[in-house]
Amino acid sequence: MPTPPAFSNAQKAKNDFGARLGDLRKASGLTGRALAASCGWHESKVSRIENGKTSPSTEDVRAWATWCGSESQIPDLIASLEAIEGMFVEWRRMEKTGLRRAQQAVLPLWERTRRFRTYSPWLIPGAVQTESYTRAVLRGTSARRGLPDDVEDAVAVRKDRLRLLHEGNRTFAVLIEEAVLRNVIGGSDVMAGQLGHLLTVSELPSVSLGILPMGAERTAMPPVEDFWIFDDAQVNVELISGCLTITQPGEVAMYADAFSRLADIAVVGAPARRLIAAAIDTLE
């Protein structure tokens, strides 16, 4: 899988922040060794922070700016650090108390969004999942990550969020790789119900469903990572290790372009329904 541009951007932001701290140190006339000694750190820590290899804590930034005589920059430095940390959130941090909290955390974003675009090469997207499919997905996630068992609470939160399919003049454009239809999640009965639900939900005025057929010419746009676009304001990218949040307009535009290219490959309407029906037939 290609490295998501957002992941590269997160590392670049980390590098740039380290260079900014390095400029403060140099302007103060301190060597890296002298700054480390003043802060009570191992001497390699300064170099690792300046080169983007180690993320400083808030207290590290306070100490750095203070010893460099730049106390007035502390609020801005901390705000920049928090923005960088928010670009990539590890699942273990987001879900440390269980899955319910992670499901609740995205509700404000969903409520203020009017145009949703989502692409998935792995699973049926949450907006068009059945309750049973959601339960199976979350149980698998909870088991793999060793989380507290609050799956039923998380399922309830997700179920409540799906009311937004019918509220507020929202639109949901959903693109799924055909292989997703053949990935059995929760057993044959759960999967059959989920595929039947796709046929039903695709008829909603708020939903457009496209399936990217196996065997289609993909030179112009190969499969990429799972992502959601919320209006033109934010993209969330789901990785194995965590979730990337993208708000930089240029990168949001890159994902919007990718979605458009993927949509050009997808089939909709009757051809899409035939692919879903064929997947149901394999379960029988």
Q: What does the CA dihedral 93, 242, 102, 96 come to, rounded to 10 degrees?
A: -30
Distance from the first to the final alpha carbon of the chain:
33
Q: Report d(CA 197, CA 78) in Å as an integer.
A: 47
CA 192 from chain center: how many Å? Answer: 27
Q: Which helix H or strand E contains 144, and what residues bound it?
A: helix 131-145
Give the residue from 38, 61, 87 where a domain finishes.
87
pTM of the predicted structure, to 2 decimals:
0.74
CATH of the domain at 20: 1.10.260.40
Q: Does 106 lie in the same domain as 26? A: no
- Decide if 28 contacts 68 (C-beta within 8 A): yes
pLDDT per residue rounded down to tens, the chain (284 residues): 444 554 556 677 788 888 999 999 999 999 999 999 999 999 899 999 999 888 888 899 999 999 999 999 998 888 778 767 766 676 666 777 789 988 888 899 999 999 999 999 999 999 999 999 999 999 999 998 888 889 999 999 999 999 999 988 999 999 999 999 999 999 999 999 999 999 999 999 999 999 999 999 999 999 999 999 999 999 999 887 778 888 878 888 999 999 999 999 999 999 999 999 999 999 97
Residue 138's alpha-carbon distances to 99, 244, 263, in angstroms, are 8, 19, 28
Separation between Cα atoms, residue 214 and residue 12, nearest integer Å: 36
Residues 40 and 99 in one domain: no
Work out how many domains the chain is built from and give that number. Answer: 2
**Structure confidence at residue 86 (pLDDT):** 64
pLDDT score of 251: 83
Domain of 66, in residue numbers: 5-87
Q: 3-state DSSP call for residue 278?
A: helix
Instruction: At 88, list the tokens.
Output: 């990539």
Q: What's the gap between Cα 132 and its chain centre?
A: 23
Give the residue from 63, 87, 111 where a domain finishes.
87
CATH assignment of the domain containing 273: 3.30.870.10
CA-based nearest residue to 125, from 161, 77, 83, 82:
161
Predicted pLDDT of residue 1: 44
Tell me if 129 sits within 8 A of 161, measured CB to CB. Answer: no
Residue 9 has a pLDDT of: 60
Q: Is the distance from CB of 61 to CB of 114 less than 8 angstroms?
A: no
Q: Is there a single domain that holds both residue 68 and residue 172?
A: no
pLDDT at 10: 67
Domain boundary (55, 87, 119) is at 87
What tens digit of pLDDT does each residue of 136-186 get? 999 999 998 888 889 999 999 999 999 999 988 999 999 999 999 999 999
87-99 as b/e: b if 16+ CB within 10 A: bbbebeeebeebb
